[in-house]
């Protein structure tokens, strides 16, 4: 009897041991070792064929031909699916807001694109993909006639020449890419952003007559009001009654009060009064208009220096938060000269470049920034409120330097 029990025990133990050892090789690799999915998932594309091949090269261990496993035994572990658990390669992300911004810019910059950009495109196309030093001379000519300016053009050409010598400009696409990179380098000036953190903050808007100061002020007032700021306008252009009226029309349109003086009043005193009103009545921001007679007349610069000093007094010995010089892009290289004049008189902190919608001279932006290392804050692409855009270097360069065929693809 006891021998019978002993045999039964031995058989039972043997069966149990067989079951344990039979199951072990069938465990999926993930269960057999500590999980390390993150590391393995990363190079998904490369790892997948390798892994998929594994089962074929080394067949999965099979169960020994033993008595049928008891009903409780798990089914053979699947091997093949392991290869497809890998994370898919990340999709390139498309920012719809950026796509929309670039499309709008492209439309606004149509005249400039129709000017020097299409000339560049023709130039490349006309050479049937031939990239040689002669091409650089032709690029130089196009850039100079596009109001980019002699110095900036020379800088761009030097960089292209170096890249060509290093063999980096092998085809048309690489030249477009090089131009885009150079343009971003030029335009991405490192300067503090407009924060308008002071209360009240003051933006003093200056520029010669007709460049778009008052219009830009109206658009800025709309923008900052929409952001929830309480905005006050100061009619610092006291030379023309019509100038005050024009600002008042904008004030009514965008819902901002206007502080004005009598015709011919001292502009500094009008802006002083506006700052005091803003301080007393809790305004967040004062945007001050100024007169814009020709920059060649010295008195305007003297007047603006006086305004600057008065503003500092009103603000308690700090500078205006932003002295925004408005430049009209249709004046081309003349805008670069205006910048020189204003910077001699004032500590200009940023530029608004207007009327880019109606000119083929938009390339002047490169000359302005390259020569003065001052940031473009805003660009004007039309007369409507929404046509004043915050300047974003990457989108601007993408829109300006897009090849006509890429534009067609994007449309
Ligand atoms: N197409 C276009 N027109 C603009 C833009 N910005 C301003 N203008 C127009 O340019 C003209 C002059 O604009 P103003 O705002 O009066 O210029 P200003 O610098 O205040 O002129 P003064 O007060 O005479 O010194 C107006 O007809 C504006 O509508 C722009 O970005 N695009
Ligand atoms: Mg004006």
CA dist., res. 354 & res. 362, Å (int): 10
Residue 374: pLDDT above 60? yes
pTM for this prediction: 0.77
The whole-number pLDDT of residue 403 equals: 74
**Ligand 1 near 115 CB (within 6 A):** no
Q: Is 294 helix (H, G, I), strand (E, B) or coil?
A: coil
* Share of residues in the chain with pLDDT > 90 (%): 55
Q: 283 C-alpha to center of ligand 1: Å?
A: 26
Q: What is the pLDDT of residues 13-53, one digit of tens each?
A: 565 555 555 544 333 333 333 333 332 333 333 333 333 33
Q: What is the mean pLDDT of the chain?
A: 81
The two structure tokens encoding residue 165: 């010598």
Instruction: Name the closest-CA residue to atom 6, ligand 1.
Output: 212
Residue 57: pLDDT above 70? no
Q: Which of 393, 391, 308 is nearest to 352 (CA)?
A: 391
| pLDDT class of 6 with cuts at 50, 70, 90 | low
Contact 377, 352 (CB under 8 A): yes
**Ligand 1 near 111 CB (within 6 A):** no
The whole-number pLDDT of residue 130 equals: 72
Strands in 64-195 per DSSP E: none
Instruction: Name the closest-CA residue to atom 14, ligand 1.
Output: 212
Q: Which of 267, 228, 227, 229 is nearest to 247 (CA)?
A: 267
Instruction: Name the closest-CA residue to atom 9, ligand 1.
Output: 212
The whole-number pLDDT of residue 18 equals: 59
Q: What is the mean pLDDT of residues 299-319?
A: 92
Cis bond before residue 200 (omega within 30° of 0): yes
Backbone torsions φ then ψ of 166, nearest 5 degrees: -80, 0
| pLDDT class of 70 with cuts at 50, 70, 90 | very low
The whole-number pLDDT of residue 16 equals: 57
Instruction: Name the closest-CA residue to atom 7, ligand 1.
Output: 212
Q: What is the pLDDT of residues 238-258, one digit of tens each?
A: 888 789 999 999 999 999 999
**Integer angstrom CA distances of residue 68 from 9, 72, 161, 182:** 20, 11, 78, 74
Q: 369 C-alpha to center of ligand 2: Å?
A: 24
The whole-number pLDDT of residue 71 equals: 44
**Integer angstrom CA distances of residue 328 from 147, 274, 308, 380:** 13, 27, 22, 9
Residue among 293, 365, 383 whose CB has most ligand 1 atoms within 8 A, to mutate: 383
**Integer angstrom CA distances of residue 386 from 19, 383, 394:** 76, 8, 20
Q: What is the mean pLDDT of residues 85-92?
A: 61
The whole-number pLDDT of residue 409 equals: 63
**Ligand 1 near 218 CB (within 6 A):** no
The percent of the chain in helix, strand and coil, each rounded to the nearest 5, is 55, 10, 35
The two counts, helices (H) then strands (E), for the chain are 18, 8
**Integer angstrom CA distances of residue 49 from 46, 53, 81, 83:** 7, 6, 13, 8
| pLDDT class of 58 with cuts at 50, 70, 90 | very low
Residue 317: pLDDT above 70? yes
The whole-number pLDDT of residue 407 equals: 64
Q: What is the mean pLDDT of residues 226-246?
A: 93
Q: Quickly count: other Cβ atoms within 10 Å of residue 74's Cβ.
A: 9
Q: Which of 220, 217, 222, 249 is nearest to 234 (CA)?
A: 217
Residue 271: pLDDT above 90? yes
The whole-number pLDDT of residue 293 equals: 76
The two structure tokens encoding residue 335: 């805008």
Q: What is the mean pLDDT of residues 346-357?
A: 96
The two structure tokens encoding residue 41: 């998932």
The whole-number pLDDT of residue 90 equals: 64
The whole-number pLDDT of residue 62 equals: 38
């Amino acid at each position: 009897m006891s021998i019978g029990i002993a045999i039964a025990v031995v058989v039972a133990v043997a069966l149990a041991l067989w079951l344990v050892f039979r199951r072990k090789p069938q465990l999926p690799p993930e269960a057999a070792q500590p999980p390390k999915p993150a590391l393995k998932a990363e190079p998904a594309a490369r790892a997948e064929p390798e892994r998929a091949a594994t089962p074929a090269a080394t067949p999965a261990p099979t169960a020994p031909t033993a008595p049928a496993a008891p009903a409780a035994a798990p089914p053979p572990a699947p091997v093949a699916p392991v290869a497809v658990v890998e994370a898919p390669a990340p999709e390139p992300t498309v920012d719809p807001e950026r796509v929309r911004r670039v499309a709008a810019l492209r439309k606004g910059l149509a005249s400039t694109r129709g000017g020097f950009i299409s000339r560049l495109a023709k130039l490349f196309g006309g050479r049937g993909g031939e990239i040689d030093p002669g091409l650089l001379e032709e690029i130089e000519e196009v850039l100079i006639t596009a109001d980019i300016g002699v110095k900036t053009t020379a800088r761009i050409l030097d960089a292209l020449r170096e890249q060509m010598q290093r063999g980096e400009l092998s085809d048309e696409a690489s030249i477009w890419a090089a131009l885009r990179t150079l343009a971003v380098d030029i335009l991405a000036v490192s300067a503090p952003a407009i924060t308008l953190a002071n209360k009240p903050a003051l933006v003093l808007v200056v520029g010669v007559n007709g460049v778009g100061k008052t219009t830009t002020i109206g658009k800025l007032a709309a923008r900052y009001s929409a952001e929830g700021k309480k905005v006050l306008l100061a009619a610092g252009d006291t030379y023309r009654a019509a100038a005050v009226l024009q600002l008042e029309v904008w004030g009514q349109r965008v819902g901002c009060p206007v502080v004005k003086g009598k015709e011919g009043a001292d502009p500094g005193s009008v802006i002083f009064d506006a700052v005091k009103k803003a301080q007393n009545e809790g305004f967040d921001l004062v945007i001050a208009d100024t007169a814009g007679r020709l920059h060649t007349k010295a008195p305007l610069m003297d007047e603006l220096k006086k305004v600057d000093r008065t503003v500092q007094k009103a603000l308690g010995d700090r500078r205006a938060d932003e002295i925004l010089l408005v430049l009209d892009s249709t004046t081309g290289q003349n805008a670069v000269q205006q910048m020189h004049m204003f910077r001699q008189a004032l500590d200009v902190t940023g530029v608004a470049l207007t009327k880019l919608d109606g000119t083929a001279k938009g390339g002047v932006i490169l000359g302005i920034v390259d020569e003065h290392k001052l940031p473009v804050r805003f660009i004007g692409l039309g007369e409507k409120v929404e046509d004043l855009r915050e300047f974003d270097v990457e989108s601007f360069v993408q829109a300006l330097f897009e090849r006509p065929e890429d534009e067609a693809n994007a449309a």
